[in-house]
Structure 1
Amino acid sequence: MIRASDLPDVIPVFPLPGALLLPRARLPLHIFEPRYLALLDDVLKTPDRMIGMVQPDPNPKAQAPVDGPALHRIGCAGRLTQFSETEDGRYFVTLAGAARFRITEEVRGFTPYRRAAVSWTGFEGDLGQTEQDPGFDREAFLDLLSRYLVAKSLDTDWDSLKEAEDEMLINSLSMLLAFEPEDKQALLEAPSLSTRRETLVTLIEYALRGGDDTGIMQ
């Protein structure tokens, strides 16, 4: 288990719209852009092997202190746990979600990728044990999910869903279902597993209504 003292003060950040990483979850990535190949090479030389996944911020008032899109202030860092290289120099990697962070400032330097000074304060619970959701009505939730998957012509392994622990089920669906990047950010910033489940339910219900009502409060 990662300890708070193991977390670095500066990490490389990977802005990727719609890609959500959550603590104790795993995110596969296909890396091929030269700047992110350089990021990967540098991360492999560090003891913590941390990469910060963060969403670009579409708010026109958001400030981008360096070249590139403005970033949301909250992201999630993952530890590089698996990687394989193709013959043409691309990588398939897996990040294991460690903890969320808040960007305090971007760090200028000579790397082709972006780096940020980060604070882990307020997210200490991400480093603890698997989170529980005491108010979770699994039967009602799976019924709602079934209607969503039918509406989207999707299929899934229902046996695995039924057996999954609350956190794995809620976080995996939060990461995998095709929501807008700002909705993914809302799922990331949810302060507890219960509030993330409530947000997820709201997003699924909104999608089932066709997204043509008053929208979702962020």
Structure 2
Amino acid sequence: MISASDLPDTIPIFPLPGALMLPRARLPLHIFEPRYLAMIEDCMKSKTRLIGMIQPSETPLGEKRLHKIGCAGRLTGFSETEDGRYMITLTGISRFRVREEVQGFTPYRRCLVDWAAFARDLSSEEEADPGFDRESFFALLHRYLTALNLSTDWSNLKEAETELLINSLSMLCPLSAEDKQALLEAPTLTTRRETLVTLMEFALRGGAGEDLIQ
């Protein structure tokens, strides 16, 4: 278990559009770019083995930036393919706020980060959502997945604890990068669930003024 005192001031950053990491959730990744292969190798030598997942963004003028809030995952699974690619699993530890990007000699990006606003993420206890209505949520989810012609293992999904259910769906649903950033920044599990519900309902209405998804 990583404590607040273990969290480093500077972490490697993996900007990956649409990839959402959340505390206590697991994210599998396929690593093949040379700079990120080097990042994984350096990560495995570090004490905490943390990598910061973050959404890249683009200004109206086309300038590429990083969102201010990301989530760090600890490298908990690793295998190497015969052709030198890495298959890894990150387990979410805590969200962070980017203070500034660090210039240096690594081929990958690094950032000076602040963890203070997300101390609750480090808890080993799952977060609760007292107002969660599972029946109505699953009815909406069924309509949403059916409309998108997506299938799922309903038996496992319905048996999942609330936090795992909401966070897994937030990570796996085919949402835009900006929508996933909104889910990441949700201050509580209740807010994340409400945001997810709103996004699914919006999609079923066809988005901005389009026809209803059938």
- State the TM bucket, normalised to the shorter chain: over 0.9
Distance 2:151 2:106 in 1: 42
The answer to whether residue 67 in structure 2 is matched with residue 72 in structure 1 is yes
Structure 1 unpaired stretches of 5+? 64-68
Q: CA RMSD in A?
A: 1.3
Counterpart in 2 of 1:194? 190
Structure 2 unpaired stretches of 5+? none
The alpha carbon displacement at 1:62 in A equals 9.2
Counterpart in 1 of 2:104? 109
Amino acid at match of 1:157: D
Counterpart in 1 of 2:9? 9
Counterpart in 1 of 2:89? 94
The alpha carbon displacement at 1:61 in A equals 6.9
Deviation per residue, 1:76-105 (Å, 9 max, x gap): 000000010001100000000000000000
Distance 1:198 1:111 in 2: 40
TM-score, normalising length from structure 2? 0.95
Amino acid at match of 1:172: S
The alpha carbon displacement at 1:210 in A equals 1.1
SS in 2 for 1:153: coil
Contact 1:62 1:70 in 2 (8 A): no
After superposition, where does 1:146-161 map in structure 2 within 5 Å? 146-161=142-157
After superposition, where does 1:11-90 map in structure 2 within 5 Å? 11-60=11-60, 69-90=64-85
Alignment size in residue pairs: 209
Deviation per residue, 1:153-190 (Å, 9 max, x gap): 11111111111111000000000000000000000000
The alpha carbon displacement at 1:6 in A equals 1.0
Counterpart in 2 of 1:66? none
Of 111, 135, 153, 1:139 maps to 135
The answer to whether residue 166 in structure 2 is matched with residue 170 in structure 1 is yes
TM-score, normalising length from structure 1? 0.93
SS in 1 for 2:77: strand
The alpha carbon displacement at 1:21 in A equals 0.3
The answer to whether residue 115 in structure 2 is matched with residue 120 in structure 1 is yes
Amino acid at match of 1:177: C
Distance 1:187 1:165 in 2: 18
Distance 1:90 1:96 in 2: 20
SS in 1 for 2:12: strand
The alpha carbon displacement at 1:146 in A equals 0.2
SS in 2 for 1:122: helix
The alpha carbon displacement at 1:60 in A equals 3.2
Distance 2:45 2:209 in 1: 50
Amino acid at match of 1:23: P
Contact 1:9 1:117 in 2 (8 A): yes
Q: What is the percent sequence identity of the aligned residues?
A: 68
